[in-house]
Amino acid sequence: MNKAQLVEAIADKVGGRQQAADAVDAVLDAVVRAVVSGDRVSVTGFGSFEKVDRPARYARNPQTGERVRVKKTSVPRFRAGQGFKDLVSGSKKLPKNDVAVKKAPKGSLSGGASATVKKAAAKKATTAKKAAAKKTTAKKTVAKKATTAKKATAKKTTAKKAAKTATAKKTTAKKTAKAATAKKTTAKKAAAKKAPAKKATAKKAPAKKSTARKTTAKKATARKK
- Assess whether pLDDT exceeds 70 at residue 195: no
Rounded to whole angstroms, how far apart are CA atoms 190 and 177? Answer: 20
- Assess whether pLDDT exceeds 90 at residue 214: no
pLDDT at residue number 160 = 80
pLDDT tens string 56-85: 999 999 999 999 999 999 999 999 999 899
* 11, 17 contact by CB (below 8 A): yes
* 34, 110 contact by CB (below 8 A): yes
Our CA angle for 46, 50, 55, nearest 5°, is: 145
- Assess whether pLDDT exceeds 60 at residue 26: yes
Domain ranges of the chain: 3-54+67-122
pLDDT tens string 142-160: 677 777 777 777 778 777 8
Measure Cα distances from 15 to 2, 3, 7, 96 in Å: 20, 17, 11, 21
- In the chain, the amino acid numbered 146 is A
Q: What is the pTM of this model?
A: 0.43
Indicate the pLDDT class of residue 162, thresholds 50, 70 and 90: confident
pLDDT at residue number 111 = 42
Which fold, 3-54+67-122? HU Protein; Chain A (4.10.520)
Indicate the pLDDT class of residue 123, thresholds 50, 70 and 90: low
pLDDT tens string 83-112: 899 999 998 888 887 788 775 555 544 444
Indicate the pLDDT class of residue 201, thresholds 50, 70 and 90: very low
Q: How much is the mean pLDDT over the chain?
A: 78
